[in-house]
Structure 1
Amino acid sequence: MKRAFFAVCLVVLGAAWAQFTPRNPECIAPAGAGGGWDFTCRSVAQVMQDLRLVPQPIKTTNVTGGGGGVAYANVVTQRSDDANLIVAASPATTVRLAQGQYSRFTERDVRWLGAVAADFGLVAVKADAPWKTMQELVAAWKADPSKIAVGGGSAVGGQDHMKVLLLGRAAGIEPRAIKYVPFDGGGEALTSLLGGFVQVFAGDASELRAQVQSGTVRVLGVMSPRRLGGVYASVPTLKELGYNVEWVVWRGFYVPKNMPPQAYEFWARALREVERSPEWARVREQNALGQFFMAGAEFQVFIDRQVNQFRNLSRELGIIR
C-alpha cells in the first residue's frame, strides 16, 4: 500500500515538473551588483543554464533599497503569482523580517523555495591597513572606537551590522560606541573600503574572493565553525582567536506566494539538480562555500525558526524592543 502511494506521488511530481516550462525566467538580487545576493542569482542561474534545466538564460535584475525591502514589497504586491521569478535570499532577509523592517510584510507573504550552499561571515581590511591581525585591530578599536568605521552591505540592524555587534560584544566593546556604516549590498561596502571611506569590512567569503586573490584586501578572521579552504586557507576563525562568534550564511531563494504549484515544483527540483551537480561543486570550491541544502516544506520550517531566533537575538542586542 505504501509503495503504491509513493509511486502515485512520484507520478504527480513528475507530471508537475513536465507541465511547467519557464518563459523569460528572472532572478531578483535585492541589492546592487557585487554582493552576496547578486552572486547567488548569477551563479545559480549559470549552473541551471549549463545543466539545461531552463530553456532560456535566467536574467538577473538588481533591485536595490531597504536592505532587500524594496524587492520584497515589489514581489508581494506586484508579482505575487509570477511563475517565472525567483528571488535571492539569505539570513540578511530573515533578520530584517524578524525586526519588522519590511513594512507590514512578514515571512508568510512569500513562499520559501530552498537553499543550496552555506557562505560564512568575515572581517577584512585593506591590504595596506596598519592592522595585520585581528588582535591588532581589536586593540585599536577598543582604544578609540570613533576612529574605526565598519562598513557592511546591510542596513542598520541588518545581518552585517549584527555580525559587527556580536564581534564587538565578544571583544568587550560597548555596542553604542561601534561606528557602523550601512551600504546597499556588499559590493558598495567593498568599494567604500577600497576607497578609504571605511576602515573595516564585515561581509561574506563569496564577496571577497577576487579581492583576496588580487591582494587588495586582507582578511583577518572568518566566522565559520572551522577554517575555510582555497584563498582563505590561512585565515583563522574568530573562535580560534578567542572571539566566540560564528555567522553562517545560507544562500537560497524565495518565490511569489501564489506561484502555481507546478512552477514551484519545477524550481525546487531545479535547485536539487543544481546542488547535486559537479558544476555546483566547483562553484562551491572556488568560492569557499560549504554544503547546505534544504528545499520545500523543510526549508519553510527552517525559515520560521530562524526568524524567531533572530527576533530574540535582536532584542538581546538592543536593536528592537
Structure 2
Amino acid sequence: MEQKMKLARLLILAAAGLACASSPARAAEFPSRTVEIVPAGNPGGGLDLVARALERALREEKLFPEKFVINNMGGAGGNLAKNYIHQKKGNPNFLYIESNRIYTNRIVGTTPLTYTDVTPIARLITEYLVWAVLSDSPYKSAKDILAKVKADPGSVTFGVGTVPSNDQMNILRAAMAQAIDPKQVKIVSFKAGGDLMIQLLGGHVPVISTGLSEAMEQARAGKVRLIAISAPEPLSGDFANVPTWRSMGIDLAILHWRGLFAPPGIPAEAVKYWDQTLPKLVKSDSWKKILAKYQWFDAYAPSAEFRKALAEENKAYEQILTQLGMAKGVKK
C-alpha cells in the first residue's frame, strides 16, 4: 500500500512538472538563450550599423544577460529578411532591423507581408531629410520652389535616391500640403545618396531631397544650402538655422527611422521585456555616444506607440502611392 502511495505521489509530481514545463508562463520565459538579430541589409549599411550599435550598447550597459549573433540578410529590398522572420512565428529569440520598407514593399506589390505580419518592438533612431540646393541657387527658400511648382508643375525637377522612398515623400507631401497634384511633380531618381549629391553639384538637378547625413559635408563646406528639414522641431548645432516644414507653416514632419521587430505571435512577456529594457538603453551614455558618432537622432517609441505610428504612416503612404499609380499591392 505504501509503495502504491509513493508511486502515486511520483506520478502527480511528474505530471505537475510536465504541466509547468509546457505551460505558457514557462514557454514565455525571456531571455533565456542567444538572440539572433537580422538586419535587412548588407554588412556596413545603415541597418547593419543600427543592429551592431544596439548589440554593443546593450552589452556595454549590461542590459541583456544573453548573447547576440548578427545575421545580415540583404536582398529583395528587405523582403528576404522579412520572410525569414515571419517564418519564426512565436519565437522571441529573433529580432529584425528594418526601415519603413516594412510597409511600403507591400503597398508597391513586392511582397504580401507588411508590418502587421511581424511584431513591432520599438522605433529606435531616426535621420531627417533635407532639401538641398547649390549655394548660388536662385531659390532662397523651399516655399519659393513650391510656389513655382504650383504655378507651373513641370518647371522644377527634383532629384531623389530611389522611388518609392522617404526622399520622394519629403517632396510630395510638402507639395500636397500646398494643394499641388503629386502626379504633376517632376522627380528623377538616381542610384543612391552619393550619386544624388554629384548630380546636384554638377548642376544636373536644381534641388534634391536626401538624408541630412548625405548633405551635411557639402553644406558645411559651403557648396550647398539646406532650405528645409523634415524634423518636427529645429535642430541644434550647425543646422539650427535650417527651417523645418512646420516653421514654414506646413504641418509636416517625416522620420527616416530604423526600427526593431520580432516574429509574429511572440509571447507578451517578451514584448514587455523590451518595453522595460529599451527605455534604459536610450537614456544610457553608450547609446548617446553612438547617436553622436553616426549623426542619428533619438526617436524611441515603445511597442504600442510604434504600432500606432506605423498604422498612420501606412495609411498616408498608401493614399499617396495609390494616387501615383504605384500601389500595385493594394486591393481595389
Q: What does residue 11 of structure 2 align with? A: none
Q: Give 1:232 deviation, angstroms.
A: 1.9
CA distance in 2, matches of 1:39, 1:232: 24
Residues 102 and 114 of structure 2 are in contact (CA less than 8 Å); yes or no, is this contact kept in structure 1? no
Q: What does residue 7 of structure 1 align with? A: none
Q: Secondary structure at the match of 1:271?
A: helix
In structure 1, stretches of 5+ residues that fail to align are: 1-11
2:196 maps to which of 193, 200, 216: 193
Q: What does residue 110 of structure 1 align with? A: 118
Q: What does residue 167 of structure 2 align with? A: 160
CA distance in 2, matches of 1:114, 1:224: 19
Q: Give 1:221 deviation, angstroms.
A: 0.7
Q: What does residue 72 of structure 1 align with? A: 82
Q: Give 1:284 deviation, angstroms.
A: 4.4
Residues 27 and 85 of structure 1 are in contact (CA less than 8 Å); yes or no, is this contact kept in structure 2? yes
CA distance in 1, matches of 2:143, 2:136: 17
Q: Give 1:245 deviation, angstroms.
A: 3.1
In structure 2, stretches of 5+ residues that fail to align are: 1-24
Q: Secondary structure at the match of 1:226?
A: coil
CA distance in 1, matches of 2:143, 2:308: 39
Q: Give 1:113 deviation, angstroms.
A: 0.9
Q: Give 1:84 deviation, angstroms.
A: 4.4
C-alpha change, 1:300 and 1:168, in structure 2 (3 Å) is closer
Is 1:40 the counterpart of 2:50? The answer is yes
C-alpha change, 1:135 and 1:206, in structure 2 (3 Å) is same
CA deviations over 1:4-59 (Å, ceiling 9, x no partner)? xxxxxxxx79x934x42325x33313478554x45533433332233244565653
Q: Give 1:292 deviation, angstroms.
A: 3.4
Is 1:49 the counterpart of 2:59? The answer is yes
CA distance in 2, matches of 1:138, 1:132: 11
Alignment of 1:277-296 (within 5 A): 277-284=284-291, 287=295, 289-295=297-303
Q: What does residue 87 of structure 1 align with? A: 96
CA distance in 1, matches of 2:61, 2:262: 21
Q: Give 1:64 deviation, angstroms.
A: 3.6
TM-score by length of 1: 0.70
Q: What does residue 61 of structure 1 align with? A: 72
Q: What does residue 175 of structure 1 align with? A: 182
Q: Give 1:223 deviation, angstroms.
A: 1.8
Q: What does residue 26 of structure 1 align with? A: 37
Q: Secondary structure at the match of 2:199?
A: coil
C-alpha change, 1:106 and 1:263, in structure 2 (3 Å) is same
Which letter maps to 1:234? N
Is 1:16 the counterpart of 2:29? The answer is yes
Identity of aligned residues (%): 22
Q: Give 1:227 deviation, angstroms.
A: 0.9
Q: What does residue 234 of structure 1 align with? A: 241
CA distance in 2, matches of 1:57, 1:128: 49
CA deviations over 1:298-320 (Å, ceiling 9, x no partner)? 54354345434543454466654
Residues 229 and 245 of structure 2 are in contact (CA less than 8 Å); yes or no, is this contact kept in structure 1? yes
Which letter maps to 1:189? A
CA deviations over 1:103-129 (Å, ceiling 9, x no partner)? 222333211111234543322246676
Name which one, 1 or 2, has greater alpha-carbon Rg: 2
Alignment of 1:247-266 (within 5 A): 247-257=254-264, 259=266
Q: Give 1:229 deviation, angstroms.
A: 1.6
Q: Give 1:150 deviation, angstroms.
A: 1.7
Q: Give 1:239 deviation, angstroms.
A: 3.2
Q: Give 1:216 deviation, angstroms.
A: 6.1
CA distance in 1, matches of 2:133, 2:84: 35
C-alpha change, 1:279 and 1:251, in structure 2 (3 Å) is same
Q: How many residues matched?
A: 296
CA deviations over 1:147-175 (Å, ceiling 9, x no partner)? 6242135x33x433222211233456542
2:231 maps to which of 189, 202, 224: 224
Worse overlay, 201-210 or 245-254: 201-210
CA deviations over 1:193-236 (Å, ceiling 9, x no partner)? 13327734423445555565566654221122321123321211
Q: Give 1:69 deviation, angstroms.
A: 3.1
C-alpha change, 1:207 and 1:16, in structure 2 (3 Å) is farther
Residues 257 and 299 of structure 2 are in contact (CA less than 8 Å); yes or no, is this contact kept in structure 1? no
Q: Secondary structure at the match of 2:109?
A: coil
